[in-house]
Amino acid sequence: MVNYPNGKKHTTKDLVTKQQKHSKIEYGKRGMSFEEAIDKTNHYYITHHIAVIHKKPTPVQIVKVDYPMRSKAVIKEAYFKTPSTTDYNGIYRGRHIDFEAKETHNKTSFPLQNIHLHQIEHMERVAKQGGICFLLVHFSRLEEVYLLPFERLSVYWRRMTEGGRKSIALTEIKNDGILIPYEYQPRLDYLAALNLKDESEE
Amino acid sequence: MVNYPNGKKHTTKDLVTKQQKHSKIEYGKRGMSFEEAIDKTNHYYITHHIAVIHKKPTPVQIVKVDYPMRSKAVIKEAYFKTPSTTDYNGIYRGRHIDFEAKETHNKTSFPLQNIHLHQIEHMERVAKQGGICFLLVHFSRLEEVYLLPFERLSVYWRRMTEGGRKSIALTEIKNDGILIPYEYQPRLDYLAALNLKDESEE
């Protein structure tokens, strides 16, 4: 039994456990969500003139807006819309970059239900135009992030649509993807992972 | 004096005038806003495998969300955020495309206050990475749309920051930009305008 004096609800140890449950990546105790880690990385890329990659805003259907006197407009009724594209895109050394970031609590596979069909279709179109498309997968309990190129993702997606398994095994992701190590700056250097891939293919 | 029987507030002629006031482009009476014309064009590009270009969702700061039983989440309080990038981006024949679309009711110039500094800075970064950046300007009363390459836009922006005029003269836009004719399909073939520009430079 643990007492919580002074209104404190958690000990430090509890907090860390809680954070892990909520998929925080622990970079030497610098707790941060997967999305925050990507945002920090993109910010690093921009400020260091490496690439210009942004997260798209969450698509929202706005129904009602109030314009109170002397203050800014307030959206009073709106609904979340299903995104028709991936969440991130931009440019890196002249190449168009387009990717989706997903996380799973699973320890042995990534469930494909995390991705929408129209996101696959979108990446397919972008890849055909010559863009670099991929998936970043965060296995939150393993504290591992992988970059899976779209060409491989689409193989597993097709396997599912043809009646095969509805997930990608971690072993498959380890084989086909690139592990992105946690670093201090940038947090998740996924573009370095892309370079690595290019070199190994040459 | 005009009477409005049956609760009708406008005659057909009035409506057309109203639409023009609200910047509708009249494509042989197919009334459509500038933004709708761009959306239709982008849809045409995607379905014809020409390019993959999307408008980014309006950035919104979500403050309060309700989850009513048996219905979808309702956003009850949210605020518009200033966009940190341009509104449109995507890929065309391997090239990253990034642009902003603006309209003006002015007949002789485009006021630069329509563009934010961070949008200029964003396009500068993207151009340095090898992206194709430009501004689409709709002169609503003239019913003319021009594509102005970022390299020229940045010249006029600099002129303003150095104490010069706060707008771009229509004559300057006619000189430096490319007129995009209204067509049936696609409505505003701005990528064709880009091709034209490339050819004239070769």
ipTM score for this prediction? 0.81
Q: How far apart are the first and last CA of chain B?
A: 59
pLDDT at B184: 86
B77 → chain A, closest CA residue: A76
Please list the ranges in chain B whose pLDDT falls under 70. 1-31, 196-202
Provide the mean pLDDT of chain A: 86
Strands A95-104 and A132-139: parallel
Contact A178, A124 (CB under 8 A): no
Cα torsion B106, B112, B118, B119: sign: positive
Distance CA A98, CA A131 (A): 7
Helix H or strand E encompassing A77 = strand A74-80
Whole-angstrom Cα distance, residue A186 to residue A179? 15
Q: Which residue of A has its CA nearest to B81?
A: A57
Mean pLDDT of A67-94: 92
Q: Which of B57, B93, B96 is opposite residue A91, by nearest beta carbon?
A: B96
- CA B99, B104, B106 angle in degrees (round to 5)? 140
pLDDT at residue A87, rounded to an integer: 94
Q: Which residue has the tokens 């002129």?
A: B159
Is B57–A58 a contact, with Cβ atoms under 8 angstroms apart?
A: yes
Q: Do A56 and B56 touch (CB under 8 A)?
A: yes
Q: Are B127 and B150 in contact (CB under 8 A)?
A: yes
Position A180: which residue type?
A: I
Q: Where are the domains of chain A?
A: 22-56+83-201
Domain B25-55+83-201: which CATH number of 3.90.870.10, 3.40.1350.10, 3.40.50.10320, 2.60.120.1440: 3.40.1350.10
The span from the first CA to the last CA of chain A, in angstroms, equals 59
């006197």: which residue's tokens? A69
- Which residues from chain B sit within 8 angstroms of residue A74, using beta carbons? 77-79
* The two three-digit tokens of residue A183, written as one number: 């670093």
A128 at interface of B, judged by CB pairs closer than 8 A? yes
Q: Tell me the chain A residues in contact with residue B191 when contact means C-beta distances shorter than 8 Å.
A: none
DSSP helix/strand/coil, A27: strand
Q: Quick one: pLDDT at residue A19?
A: 39
Cβ proximity of A49 and B128 under 8 Å? yes
User: In whole angstroms, what separates CA A174 from the centre of its chain?
Assistant: 17
CB contact under 8 A, A57 and B52: no
Q: Look up the CATH number of domain A22-56+83-201.
A: 3.40.1350.10
pLDDT value at residue A138 = 97
pLDDT of residue A105 exceeding 50: yes
Asked if A62 contacts B59 with a C-beta cutoff of 8 angstroms, the reply is no
Q: Scan for tokens 């970064």, then name that residue.
A: B125
CA-atom Rg of chain B in angstroms: 20
pLDDT value of residue A82: 87
What is the rounded distance in angstroms from the CA atom of residue B102 to the CA atom of residue B106?
12
List the single best residue of B50, B75, B191 to mutate versus A (max A Cβ within 10 A): B75
Task: Let me know: does B19 contact B11? Beta carbons within 8 Å.
Answer: no
Q: What is the pLDDT of residue B14?
A: 38
Structure tokens at A22: 């909520």
- B80 and A72 within 8 Å at the Cβ level: the answer is yes
Q: Which residue has the tokens 């073939």?
A: B189
Is the model's pLDDT at A182 over the cut of 70?
Answer: yes
The residue count for chain B: 202
At B76-89, the pLDDT tens digits run 999 999 888 999 99
